[in-house]
Amino acid sequence: MKAMLSHEPGSPETLKLTEVETPAPGPGQVLIAVKAAGVNFPDTLIIRDLYQFKPPRPFAPGGEVAGIIEAVGDNVTGFAPGDRVLAGGINGGYATHFIADAARTNKIPDAMPFDEAAGFMLTYGTSHYALKNRANIQPGESLFILGAAGGVGAAAIELGKAFGAKVVAGVSSEEKAAFCRELGADETLVYPRELDRDGQKALSGEIKKLCGGEGANVVYDAVGGEYAEPAVRALAWEGRYLVVGFPAGIPKIPLNLTLLKSCQIVGVFWGAFTMRNPGLNAEYINEMFHFYEEGKIRPRITASFPLQEAAKALNLLQERKATGKVVLKT
């Protein structure tokens, strides 16, 4: 098999296409011939040793794949060679073959293309868990999304609408705003790429205005940095601020704001949730597939690259130029 391996911490350009032995599935595992692999922001961190988990090197980044099962290990039930599936893990997806735990593997609908399947679970899983479990979002509430044109942000737009919320999409360009409107956002807000204190105050006021009433009931923050504080200030009474990611840097929030608004700052760590509560996660996955079959959610694959051009795909994400979902095809 071939894999894009990280031999040392560094930029996407340090990944090398390498021929390695195809592994055999162990007990409770399946071997997947990868047709497409999702590209996600954590992949840019894990190759620099900046992610929560640090796999032993050499390793291939990539936490989600879609393809066809080639072999199953002992004690595997419900799967057979030839099944069309998606699967996930911490790493290993940037390869022609992927070993997955059967418990973290799901059959995909017959009508779901492999590229959409590869771009489905991490983004929609994260956003579904964030909105349903962590925020307990309700019909009629307002949802403001920072980084709404990216993978998880785009998923949050569609899921927010599926849950009956008013969705305000925050983005960094008019092009991204148009993309979010296509996804169903009720309102869009184009924020500047750099913010001073006056800019933060103006941004907070604009969020409140577009969300209506006192402000946003839920803020979904996939950006962080200097955008976080004005978003917290734009929360309504008893609002929920979802901590999803920090491509703009890890922010520092004045905690007096939580007292003044009686609001919550809530962490979103979907990967850990799936391991700690697999039964509830399975229920959530079923609901997401139901939404997909109803046409309420669908990954927008806006860029695809061959496996050997993984660096180009990763650079799109870390330079914040990507909209929707980026995938690699083998």
- Is 148 within the bounds of a domain? yes
Average per-residue pLDDT in the chain? 95
- Is 293 within the bounds of a domain? no
Is there a contact between 109 and 138 (Cβ–Cβ < 8 Å)? no
Is there a single domain that holds both residue 131 and residue 74?
A: no
Tokens of 237: 């009474």
pLDDT (average), residues 50-69: 94
Per-residue model confidence as pLDDT tens digits over 71-89: 999 999 999 999 999 998 8
> How much of the chain exceeds pLDDT 90, in percent?
87
- Is 304 within the bounds of a domain? yes
Is there a contact between 170 and 147 (Cβ–Cβ < 8 Å)? yes
1: pLDDT confidence band, cut at 50, 70 and 90? very high
pLDDT (average), residues 136-154: 96
Q: Is 211 exposed, middle or buried (0-12, 13-18, 19+ CB in 10 A)?
A: buried
- Is 278 within the bounds of a domain? no
Tokens of 284: 């959530």
Is there a single domain that holds both residue 91 and residue 128?
A: no
The last residue of a domain, from among 249, 270, 291: 270
Residue 35: domain span: 2-120+300-329
Per-residue model confidence as pLDDT tens digits over 250-293: 999 999 999 999 999 999 999 899 989 999 999 999 999 999 99
The last residue of a domain, from among 270, 287, 314: 270
pTM here is 0.89
Q: How many separate helices (H) and strands (E) can be counted in the chain? A: 11, 15
- Predicted pLDDT at 251: 94
- Is 277 within the bounds of a domain? no
Main-chain phi, psi angles of 176, to 5 degrees: -70, -35
Q: Scanning the structure block, which residue is given the tokens 């050499």?
A: 58
Per-residue model confidence as pLDDT tens digits over 6-25: 999 999 999 999 999 999 99
Between 18 and 324, name the one with better pLDDT. Answer: 18
CATH number of the domain that residue 27 is part of: 3.90.180.10
Is there a single domain that holds both residue 247 and residue 133?
A: yes
Is there a single domain that holds both residue 56 and residue 184?
A: no
Distance in angstroms between the alpha carbons of the first and the last residue of the chain: 11
53: pLDDT confidence band, cut at 50, 70 and 90? confident
Helix pair 151-162, 278-293: axis angle to 10 deg: 80
**b/e code 52-68 from CB counts within 10 Å (16+ = b):** eeebeeebbbbbbbbbe
Tokens of 106: 């799901």
Our count of domains for the chain comes to 2
- Is 64 within the bounds of a domain? yes
- Predicted pLDDT at 186: 98
pLDDT (average), residues 307-322: 92
CA angle 191, 193, 199 (to 5 degrees): 60
Is there a single domain that holds both residue 102 and residue 42?
A: yes
Q: Which of 46, 80, 63 is nearest to 122 (CA)?
A: 63
- Predicted pLDDT at 237: 97
Between 319 and 183, name the one with better pLDDT. Answer: 183
Is there a single domain that holds both residue 116 and residue 170?
A: no
Is there a contact between 61 and 45 (Cβ–Cβ < 8 Å)? no
Instruction: Give Cα 144 distance to the centre of its chain.
Output: 16
Per-residue model confidence as pLDDT tens digits over 173-227: 999 999 999 999 999 999 998 888 899 999 999 999 999 878 999 999 999 999 9
- Predicted pLDDT at 225: 94
35: pLDDT confidence band, cut at 50, 70 and 90? very high
Is there a single domain that holds both residue 174 and residue 231?
A: yes
- Is 47 within the bounds of a domain? yes
